[in-house]
Chains A and B, each alone.
Chain A
Amino acid sequence: MMQLKTVQTEHVPVQYLEGGSGQPLVFLHGAGGMTTGDPFLARLAERFHVHAPFLPGYGESEEAPELRDMLDITLHTLDVIDALGLENPILVGHSMGGMIAAEVAALAPNEISRLGLICPVGLWLEDHPIVDIFATLPFEMPALMFHDAEAGAAILTAGRNVSDPNFLQTYLVQNARQLGMAGRILFPIPDRGLASRMYRIKARTILVWGDSDRAVPPVYAQEFKRRIKGAQLVSIPEAGHMVTLEKTDQVADAINRLA
């Protein structure tokens, strides 16, 4: 079971989930956030000492208005790793977290030697636009995010009482906090110049992609592979963008290769 802890950084106290033992691994969540009961984290914790920080604004984390752009958020992530006392952890990120992880690895190539990117964003191909999550309505999400939309919808609404009159306001506040922060690096196009910095990445890199990812189409996997020297791609059939929920074991097995 992951435990919720707090670590102080220059800007705000950062909440993180910690669990397992073994080599240190830092996991950066996607724009949708992360829960204590995340099965993928539990699976990683079977092999690694997992630290999964919440980006400010996510979970119960305080917002950090001073983190405005990609560089701020990249340095903040390095600050968190430093504050956790970790040296050369395996750095893994999903979606937005993958973008941040890639930026960290490009900015600090001598500090990050193993990198796991699970369907990251950060690049933009004109012929293959990434879905605009900021204009997507909640009911449209499952079909975009999961291979199996019906099962995905059940996962997304689990534990939520949608008939509660306060649900909408709670949902709107959470959405504004989380995607408000995510927007600083993802809105309106999730490209903050990563392509021009990726040549700096020295880390041994595993890329993981669901074959039926409709949010960030698998053509991006090829683009990341092309731009990171020696990157290996693990493609997973019958999985969408939320591949960590749909094919938890297969993604964990791929990440285990970084051990």
Chain B
Amino acid sequence: MKFTWFNLMPWPDLPADFREKNRSVWVDIDQKLFDPERAHTVYNTYMDLLEYAGQVGFDGIGVNEHHQNGYGIMPSPNIIAAGLARRTKDTALVVLGNSIALYNPPVRVAEEFAMLDCISGGRLVAGFPVGTSMDTNFCYGQIPSLTREKYAEAHELIVRAWTSREPFAFNGRYNKLRYVNIWPRPIQQPHPPVHIPGGGSVETYDFCIDNTYSYSYLSFSGYLRAKVLMQGYWDRVAQRNAPDASPYRAGFAQTICVADTDEEAERLYWPHVNYFYNRCLHVYPGFADAPGYRTIKTIQTGALSQYAPPRGGYTQLTWKDLVEGGHVIAGSPETVRQRMEDLAKGLNVGNIFCLMHVGDMPAEKCMYSTKLFAEKVMPHLRNIFPDYADDDRFWCKPLKKLAKAGNLPSERDAAQAVAALV
């Protein structure tokens, strides 16, 4: 199993009446709610927490890309990952990912990911999301029904840029480049492992299967509701005669809160879970799914956008709803272990993106939950898929010997060395 500690980086100060007073947490969120000076502390605390997760033994630390979003103040995950690369040692940097249709030209992604791979010594796990409709269409103005074509072209360009050893001309529909010749290129060969976040598009299943990429379902609605969608993926894996059904072909995001007991978990974490589900996820349904963004085939499978209003409308969700419904896995280490085992086996997923910072959770509670998970849950889940213990196709392969950050000689040694030269 590979556990990646994820931080969406929510803004922690959305007011209690946010839902009533605002149309959306995303796209047209009120500028007045953002405070740049406060953000200075928030960013640094969030990056500290990511580094802490690396120290306590998570396999990876994860960042993602959202725009104009009150629950994800990370329009550039690469900036955060670059900061993390310097202060972490052997943890994978899971950038899940760059919305490649939004970069102009997308060789920028090939370059920045190559930089991250070089700086971190081959610790990059790359992600290529199509991007939500909110990000891609409404914030970044991409034409909905052309987004996928542009994405496919960007993907082709990036992989060619990573793997070519000669400058080449790329005559795409959306990118005309006479000399593609990225410098640097990534350490990992032929290129860093790729994870693709998807929300149930058949096309995305096939794309992952065909390219040996891991399919990640990044939902906030938990593992019980994910069964149908993930089964759709595994059915497709079988249908298309993939050589195996390795659990590492799939990833899943899950909100997790660990405490000493189930009761303590509710007491400690309910306010923050409530903040996330009832405030942060308040997305105006008109932004959920620009017409043309999803393919007809996908709509016909009946998969509704995960940002579409829940059936039955917007009633406030309670702790009981969220825990019993599996949106949140919370409780004592034993409770969490059992449910995580159900999740991994039930969905057949080997990559877990652990959403352990939730809503406006303060650092100390987040550290407590993180440490309990790392020490009392993770070790018991390590060997759920012994048949695939050696499957390293979907994870990074760092250099044996990594350079250390902050490793300059002392000023005296430097002066002496220079003196010896002159």
CB of A137 within 8 A of CB of B285, answer yes
CB of A183 within 8 A of CB of B290, answer yes
A59-93, CB < 8 A from B: 65, 68
CB of A179 within 8 A of CB of B138, answer no
- B contact residues around A179 at 8 Å (CB): 144, 290-292
A181 at the interface (CB under 8 A from B): yes
Q: Which of B146, B285, B300 contacts A173 (CB 8 A)?
A: B300
B143-162, CB < 8 A from A: 143-146, 149
CB of B299 within 8 A of CB of A183, answer no
CB of A180 within 8 A of CB of B144, answer yes
Closest-CB distance, B188 to chain A (whole angstroms) = 35
**Cα–Cα, bound, A140→B23 (Å):** 14
**Cα–Cα, bound, A179→B284 (Å):** 19
A134-B144 contact, Cβ under 8 Å, with A176-B299, A179-B291, A188-B137: yes
B287 at the interface (CB under 8 A from A): yes
A189 to B, closest residue via Cβ: B141
B271 at the interface (CB under 8 A from A): no
A178 at the interface (CB under 8 A from B): yes
B15 at the interface (CB under 8 A from A): no
**Cα–Cα, bound, A179→B294 (Å):** 12
CB of A172 within 8 A of CB of B292, answer no
Chain A CB within 10 Å, residue with most, of B141, B144, B285, B291: B291
The contact string, 1 if C-beta is below 8 Å from chain A, for chain B 8-37, is: 000000000000000000000000000000
CB of A180 within 8 A of CB of B145, answer yes
**Cα–Cα, bound, A183→B287 (Å):** 14
**Cα–Cα, bound, A253→B138 (Å):** 39
A250 at the interface (CB under 8 A from B): no
**Cα–Cα, bound, A136→B287 (Å):** 8
Closest-CB distance, A199 to chain B (whole angstroms) = 27
CB of A183 within 8 A of CB of B286, answer no
CB of B286 within 8 A of CB of A137, answer yes
CB of A135 within 8 A of CB of B300, answer no
**Cα–Cα, bound, A135→B141 (Å):** 12
Q: Which of B137, B146, B296, B299 contacts A134 (CB 8 A)?
A: B137
The contact string, 1 if C-beta is below 8 Å from chain B, for chain A 100-142, is: 0000000000000000000000000000000000111100100
CB of A135 within 8 A of CB of B144, answer no
A187-B300 contact, Cβ under 8 Å, with A135-B138, A178-B291, A180-B291: no
Q: Number of A residues contacting the other chain (C-beta, 8 Å)?
A: 22
CB of B302 within 8 A of CB of A169, answer yes
CB of A135 within 8 A of CB of B286, answer yes
CB of A181 within 8 A of CB of B292, answer yes
- A contact residues around B291 at 8 Å (CB): 134, 175-176, 178-180, 183
CB of B284 within 8 A of CB of A135, answer yes
Q: Number of B residues contacting the other chain (C-beta, 8 Å)?
A: 23
A176-B284 contact, Cβ under 8 Å, with A134-B137, A187-B143: no
- B contact residues around A247 at 8 Å (CB): none
Chain B CB within 10 Å, residue with most, of A68, A135, A137: A135
Closest-CB distance, B235 to chain A (whole angstroms) = 21
**Cα–Cα, bound, A108→B293 (Å):** 33
B316-363, CB < 8 A from A: none
- A contact residues around B137 at 8 Å (CB): 134, 187-188
A229 at the interface (CB under 8 A from B): no
Closest-CB distance, B294 to chain A (whole angstroms) = 7
- A contact residues around B145 at 8 Å (CB): 176, 180-181, 183-184
CB of B296 within 8 A of CB of A183, answer no
The contact string, 1 if C-beta is below 8 Å from chain A, for chain B 272-300, is: 00000000000011110011111110011
A177 at the interface (CB under 8 A from B): yes
A134-B290 contact, Cβ under 8 Å, with A169-B300, A180-B145: yes
CB of A183 within 8 A of CB of B302, answer no
Closest-CB distance, B173 to chain A (whole angstroms) = 8
- B contact residues around A134 at 8 Å (CB): 137-138, 144, 290-291
**Cα–Cα, bound, A169→B96 (Å):** 30
The contact string, 1 if C-beta is below 8 Å from chain B, for chain A 222-256, is: 00000000000000000000000000000000000
CB of A135 within 8 A of CB of B296, answer no
B125-150, CB < 8 A from A: 137-138, 141, 143-146, 149
- B contact residues around A65 at 8 Å (CB): 149
CB of B284 within 8 A of CB of A169, answer no
**Cα–Cα, bound, A256→B7 (Å):** 63
CB of B286 within 8 A of CB of A172, answer no
- B contact residues around A183 at 8 Å (CB): 143-145, 290-292
Q: Which of A176, A184, A187 contacts B296 (CB 8 A)?
A: A176
Besides A135-B138, A172-B299, A173-B296, 19 more A-B contacts (Cβ < 8 Å) are A68-B146, A134-B138, A135-B284, A135-B287, A136-B286, A137-B285, A137-B286, A169-B302, A176-B299, A179-B144, A180-B144, A180-B145, A181-B145, A183-B145, A183-B291, A184-B146, A187-B141, A187-B144, A188-B138
Measuring CB to CB, which residues of chain B are less than 8 angstroms from any residue of chain A?
137-138, 141, 143-146, 149, 173, 284-287, 290-296, 299-300, 302
19 A-B residue pairs with Cβ-Cβ distance under 8 Å, sorted by A, are: A68-B146, A134-B137, A134-B138, A134-B291, A135-B138, A140-B286, A169-B299, A169-B300, A172-B299, A173-B299, A176-B145, A177-B296, A179-B290, A179-B292, A183-B290, A183-B291, A187-B143, A187-B144, A188-B137
Closest CB pairs A-B (n = 5): A180-B292, A179-B291, A180-B145, A135-B286, A175-B291
